[in-house]
Amino acid sequence: MNDQSPPPPSLGCRDQPVLKQRGQREVFCGLTGIIWLHRKIQDAFFLVVGSRTCAHLLQSAAGVMIFAEPRFGTAILEESDLAGLNDAHAELDREVERLLARRPDIRQLFLVGSCPSEVIKLDLSRAAERLTQQFAPKVRVLEYSGSGIETTFTQGEDACLASMVPVLPETDARELLVVGALPDVVEDQMLSLLDDLGIGPVRVLPARNIDAEMGVGANTVYALTQPFLSDTHAALTRRGARHIPAPFPLGEEGTTAWLAAVAAEFGVDAETFAHVTDAPRRRAQQAVSQAADVLHDKTIFFFPDSQLEIPLARFLTRECGMTALEVGSPYIHDALHGPDLDLLPAGPQISEGQDVDLQLDRCRAAQPDLTVCGLGLANPLEAEGLSTKWAIELVFTPVHFYEQAGDLAALFARPLRRKTKLGIAAA
Ligand code: SF4
């Protein structure tokens, strides 16, 4: 379909030994996903069943959003609520009744579990069933865990989407389901490309509201736009849908390979593919080359955080001329990450999980030009003279598909340019 067939596996990292680490890790919990999911699913409310710590995390991470039109909140369980679980269930029911009476715009309510052991003991799935019966058909109540014990950072989105799959209606229609929360403007660009290729009907999970037509069945094929959706992938497979494996649509090459895999599934001819993609490909290549001049021949080290690390390393090495020293990911799933690992030039240490002190030692020894890590590690590493990029920015910034490829390169170029400017100023 396209002229970018993957190199033989020996040239990539798919068969390379993976350093597996199971020590202390420094990442956000899955509650963080609420910050972008509440913008995406416009008729949803996320009710965190948690402690004051969870409320503080949401308030500080969400910043000003909480004062605008909040569509998330915390049912704070006080110690007195936790004295008896029956009381806690009754308190949760009362909280939901109050919320839904106040907010008739809510059509989907997610009960989001958190860390305290008393919350973990609460059977939120039973609560969701009970509340769905009470408020159906107007409101659908689902539940998932965003607890830091069970989830890291982007796994909150995975858990949320996986919770939606079992309640999707059954369909026999041959449809493409695109899975992963993208900013609306990026999703519209993607839908326009697929439409120009003649591919359809296309459904998107998560949909912007509950009324969007969407089903799943044996004739559904699905493509993922985010590399952290392994539970959703498993849930869709259990419903009989078939995954289209592909590199993720980050950068020009990743976008072209992703579209090519989908186009091949739908029998799009090479001429149509070239007609639709040639112009945006050229634009993306130009934008990347302008933004990436400072990245050429620089080294990069990824701490595991967002699960975007492997496709980002593929983009930065192949399209921006960087050399990856270590590519850490919280989890590596061959079905999801294999196509990107095939393209990632051999050389970097691939690591899964984290033992943060050992990894810091490796990073200090490697002295990379740029380190991608969570907020908790960035400041200490900057103080030691290393340039860093916060992984969290990558999920809050539109970075997918052709029109964002230049911005994606620019995100990584910025810390290096800043360091050069500071160096000149200090000289
Ligand atoms: S879910 Fe756990 S890790 Fe996340 S804010 Fe609440 S207590 Fe902290």
pLDDT by residue (tens digit) across 94-106?
A: 989 999 999 999 9
State whether the beta carbon of 92 lies less than 6 angstroms from ligand 1: no
User: Do 103 and 76 touch, CB atoms closer than 8 A?
Assistant: no
CA dihedral of residues 294, 299, 302, 308 (deg, nearest 10): 50
Share of the chain above pLDDT 70, in %: 91
The type of residue at 254 is: G
**115 annotated as belonging to a binding site for a ligand:** yes
Q: Is residue 310's pLDDT more than 60?
A: yes
For the record, the structure tokens of 244 come out as 């289209």
Mutate which of 25, 48, 51 for ligand 1? The one with the most ligand atoms within 8 Å of its CB, which is 51
CA-based nearest residue to 210, from 273, 167, 262, 254: 167
Q: What is the mean pLDDT of residues 75-104?
A: 77
Q: What are phi and psi of 29, to 5 degrees?
A: -90, 175
CA-based nearest residue to 340, from 420, 425, 216, 255: 255
User: Do 353 and 304 touch, CB atoms closer than 8 A?
Assistant: yes
| pLDDT for 410 | 96
User: Do 222 and 177 touch, CB atoms closer than 8 A?
Assistant: yes
CA-based nearest residue to 350, from 302, 412, 298: 302
For the record, the structure tokens of 322 come out as 């960087």
pLDDT tens per residue, range 138-159? 999 999 999 988 888 899 999 9
For the record, the structure tokens of 366 come out as 């490697």
Does 71 or 100 have the greater pLDDT score? Answer: 100
**In whole angstroms, how far apart are CA 138 and each of 23, 98, 107, 210, 211?**
45, 15, 6, 10, 11
Does 11 or 379 have the greater pLDDT score? Answer: 379
User: Do 34 and 74 touch, CB atoms closer than 8 A?
Assistant: no
Q: What is the mean pLDDT of the chain?
A: 89
- By CB atoms closer than 10 A (0-12, 13-18, 19+), residue 3 is exposed
Determine the atom of ligand 1 nearest the C-alpha atom of 58: 5
Give the pLDDT band of residue 68 (cuts 50, 70, 90).
very low
Q: Which of 53-62, 331-340, 357-366 has the lowest mean pLDDT?
A: 53-62
Q: Is residue 78's pLDDT more than 70?
A: no
Mutate which of 114, 119, 143, 150 for ligand 1? The one with the most ligand atoms within 8 Å of its CB, which is 114
Cα of 54 from ligand 1 centre, angstroms? 5
Q: Is 299 helix (H, G, I), strand (E, B) or coil?
A: strand
User: Do 8 and 340 touch, CB atoms closer than 8 A?
Assistant: no
Q: Is residue 10's pLDDT more than 70?
A: no
Q: Can the peptide bond before residue 169 be classed as cis, meaning omega within 30 degrees of 0?
A: no
Q: What is the largest CA-CA distance in the chain?
A: 69
Q: What is the mean pLDDT of residues 231-247?
A: 98
State whether the beta carbon of 51 lies less than 6 angstroms from ligand 1: yes
The residue behind tokens 């130009």 is 286
| pLDDT for 86 | 59
Q: Within 13 Å and on the Cβ side, how many CA atoms surround 84?
A: 4
Q: Is 68 helix (H, G, I), strand (E, B) or coil?
A: coil
| Residue-wise burial string across 288-297, b where 16 or more C-beta atoms lie within 10 A, e elsewhere | bbebbebbee
Q: Is residue 8's pLDDT more than 80?
A: no
CA-based nearest residue to 53, from 123, 115, 9: 115
Give the pLDDT band of residue 262 (cuts 50, 70, 90).
very high
The pTM of this model reads 0.91
Q: Is residue 377's pLDDT more than 60?
A: yes
For strand 349-354 and strand 370-373, is the pairing parallel, antiparallel, or unpaired? unpaired
CA-based nearest residue to 49, from 143, 112, 118, 128: 112
pLDDT tens per residue, range 203-221? 999 999 988 888 999 999 9
Q: Is residue 120's pLDDT more than 70?
A: yes
Q: Is residue 75's pLDDT more than 90?
A: no
d(Cα 169, Cα 217) in Å, to the nearest integer?
A: 9
Cα of 216 from ligand 1 centre, angstroms? 33
- For 198, which DSSP code? T
